[in-house]
Structure 1
């Protein structure tokens, strides 16, 4: 009997099949959700000058408790043009540059003004430099802000733009072709016979890739005929071909022989995973191939563990694997077998409960699940209150 490949080895071998894609430069407005392909350094200092953090009056701290004569104002984008002399204060607004000759901002709630005469009406600033954002407080020109391989989140895009960048280096988008196989499959909503099934794996896979830098090519539903599959596979022009169904060992499981007939080399097939044992990976020319099971839950879990991480790897992610976190069991779990198990589960009242039914064809259980409990091979029985690792689905 063929030994099942451990999950960690499957990941390593999968990533080894797929070098990261070429680099391109895009406008930061088009870079959301992609991964930086090069370190990004600040092109400017932020703030570029000492700025007020509050509305109030710019003063010399040493002149407290005043009084002062107000000689002008400083607003964001329109600073005070002169210099404040001894006994002089400048009306200032949040984000405005601190005028020369001042070092502290007295907030307006603690100021009493009569015409141009200003007096302290409260306790006043406790220290010199109070309510001032100093030049370079956020970052300075030349600082490393974003490392290659980090995802360009909304906050990082804002950081890049504030640092003076209008464009960033990223890997080009991943071209992903998706095909379903099986004579029993029909499109959702189409007339259906008793021996047929609605085909929803392509829909589900496309939704799982939403938010990632991909260009999707839908190959449709392919019949269980080797020559048709071979022709379709030969014509694929993509970085990644993902198939669902036909990856097992039955007489009608023709994806592997069709791929091999088209010139593919299969690197691994069948891994120590539940659900999703019959996962297949290889190369067809310049295209990486991932064959997923046809059962919808198995397809979902293997897409989560292999398709999404592979897309992230191709797109430049430094850490493409899904992150787990610790949780507390709400009820006991039996000892695990030889495969890594991903159990559909829900979190209730701060604890995690595995779904009673774990059949890989049951979509309703998957739709209700908020996370997957990760059980290592040969994990011992777990009791209520024990810690477990979970993978969030929301």
Structure 2
């Protein structure tokens, strides 16, 4: 199945969480808003100066260069009186511009002597509203700054704080259970016997789930035993999603699909991508299920390309389309036609601008390639060869997955 079709089928019938919570603004990062955020104040709240200098009232004389200073306006301490023609006040950045003043001259362009402030040169005369920020320039009262469904990022926290929004309604966190399968898996703090490996996929899944701001529920490593697998599946029934790695192929020790058929509705697909062909998708009661292949790079690629958009949608957000652009490849690339390939690569400066270079061994078991890379090079299914310096599609790792 082509990747685009698989992704579309996965998200087609998802039901996002609907339970609400009210949290303090400081705790709202990585949450999904359950309400529109409407400004109750202007930002800035009053017309203010964008520079240190003097707020001027020229009256009808636009060429006036000499003013009498009658006071000062400091941030948090406005002058509080109206200016008359020919008067000015010393003003600091962020301070309220007094009534009557309609421009600010920067302090470097004046000469002062006692209460007399003189603009040094005719070329330094400021125009109307020069160096002035009007009230509501950033946000006007009653503006809707965010709509429900917004995934809250750090700048959003600051923006909501600027309008005095101390608490927000959010959707509850999506609960995502996960476990890895295989008799060969061992804890990462113990010794290894011949043929055993450390249980790395589970740590990778935990990190990718946490990166989305979701609640991960670690069910550990489960051996290739139907009874143990059935018990682990039952533990996940109080979660919204269950993700497994390994055991979804057709080997003699791959029991995941057989056990799952006794507990829910399961589809098994072969998705036309490399790495990461086998994928199981389905439900166990009210829990969505994703069974990923066990090779570590395959686990990561299928999570990023197929599971992550589904988790965003289930959490109540809108998955962002993958950001892709073209860059020249520094190396010749070859593959067999038939599957879309996701090569791990580095975007880096080249002699003529940015270019992209595949990193190291591209095998599905070589997780180091994911760690060293900062992007995928995406080769279409029909592609067989790419010459050096030819343009290829690049999908950077660092991009927003929430709209």
For this structure pair, what is the TM-score category when the shorter chain's length is used for normalisation?
A: over 0.9
**2:307 maps to what in 1?**
307
User: Taking structure 1 as the reference length, what is the TM-score of the superposition?
Assistant: 0.92
Mapped to 2, the partners of 1:272 and 1:152 lie a distance apart of 34
Quote the residue 1:235 is aligned against.
235
Shift of 1:365: 2.8
Distance 1:342 1:186 in 2: 29
Q: Which runs of 5+ in 2 are unaligned?
A: 399-403
TM-aligned CA distance change 1:52 to 1:24, over 3 Å: same
Structure 1 range deviating more: 133-142 or 251-260:
133-142
Deviations 1:231-270 (A, max 9, x none): 2211212111111111101111011111222x21113432
- Show the counterpart of 1:90: 89
Post-superposition offset of 1:336: 4.6
In the alignment, the residues of structure 2 paired with residue 378 and residue 336 of structure 1 have an alpha-carbon distance, to the nearest angstrom, of 8
Structure 1 residue 7 and structure 2 residue 3: aligned? yes
Provide the aligned length of Structure 1 versus Structure 2. 389
Partner of 2:70: 71
Report the Cα distance in structure 2 between the residues aligned to 1:189 and 1:321, rounded to whole angstroms: 39
The equivalent of 2:256 in structure 1 is 255
1:55 equivalent to 2:48? Answer no
**Range 229-238 or range 40-49, more displaced:** 40-49
1:1-394 counterparts in 2 under 5 A?
Answer: 5-22=1-18, 23-61=20-58, 62-63=60-61, 64-122=63-121, 123-236=123-236, 237-261=238-262, 263-334=263-334, 336-348=336-348, 349=350, 350-355=354-359, 357-379=361-383, 381-394=385-398
Task: State the Cα distance separating 1:83 from its structure 2 match.
Answer: 1.4
Query: 2: distance between equivalents of 1:381 and 1:39?
Result: 50
Rate the CA distance shift 1:110–1:201 in 2: closer, same or farther, 3 A: same
SS in 2 for 1:71: strand
Tell me, in whole angstroms, the C-alpha distance in 2 between the residues paired with 1:190 and 1:233.
Answer: 26
Instruction: Please report how far the alpha carbon of residue 17 of structure 1 lies from its aligned counterpart in structure 2 after TM superposition.
Output: 4.3
> Counterparts of 1:323 and 1:268 in 2: how far apart (Å)?
28
Q: TM-score, normalised by structure 2?
A: 0.90
Give the superposition deviation at 1:380.
5.0
Q: Which runs of 5+ in 1 are unaligned?
A: none
Q: Distance in 1 between matches of 2:384 and 2:361?
A: 20
- Give the direction of change, closer, same or farther, for the CA distance of 1:241–1:336 in structure 2 (3 Å limit): same
